[in-house]
Structures are given as structure tokens and as C-alpha cells.
Amino acid sequence: MKKGKQSRHMEFGSTLRRLRHQADLGLKAVAPQVKVSYTYLSKIENGHKTPSAELIERLCELYQADSDELISRLGQLPSDIQRIVEVNGKAVFELLREHYPQPEPERR
């Protein structure tokens, strides 16, 4: 895993751990509720594994957090948006580019 990507995953894992602690839940309590092992959750929280968008959505529902924001931090798309992109590909890209133009890169 590249250094920048690894750092992003560790930060993401720390965010999930913080949300779990705020919900006053332990790994062993959360795991069966989101249908994964507690060791897998531990690896996610420690930045060693990347969760699927679906798992992030289940965790966020349990923790009462915004899944869209967390999913985008990993550079992924929420599952409903992924389906929209799969069905409408080019039209989605054109619509996004039209409504959200990218700023010009800074020149040094």
C-alpha cells in the first residue's frame, strides 16, 4: 500500500474507532451487528484493511454517522451512487463536470 493511501486508511480507521467509542460499543458487540468478525473490524480500525462501501454504510447506521462523508474519504462511492454511475456512466460524468467545474491547478 502506498504511503499516502496507508495514511488515509489509518486516519479513516481512527475515525471509525472514535465513532464506535462515542456509541459506547466494543468490537465484539459491533461485529455481529454488521456481519463481520471482530478481528476484521480491528484490522479496519488499525488501517490494515479497507472496508467496502456497504460495510461502511452498516457501521454508520449503527453509529448514527454520515456514511457518504466517510465513504468519500476513502475515495469510494456510496453503493446507490455506484449503481447510478454503472447505469448512466457518461451522462453522470458530464452532469458532474457541468455543475462542478474543477479549478485550474495552481502554477508555481
Domain boundaries, the chain: 3-76
* Mean pLDDT, range 5-25, rounded to an integer: 86
What is the helix (H) or strand (E) element at residue 33, kind and residue range? helix 27-34
How distant is the alpha carbon of residue 30 from its chain centre?
17
pTM for the predicted model, two decimal places = 0.70
Instruction: Give CA 34 to chain center in angstroms.
Output: 15
pLDDT reported for residue 29:
96
CB 14: neighbour CB atoms within 10 A? 13
pLDDT for position 104: 77
Query: Domain 3-76, what architecture?
Result: Orthogonal Bundle (1.10)
Q: Does residue 9 carry a pLDDT above 80?
A: no
Residue 3 has pLDDT above 60, yes or no: no
| 19-67 per-position pLDDT tens digit | 999 999 999 999 999 999 999 999 999 999 989 888 998 999 999 998 8
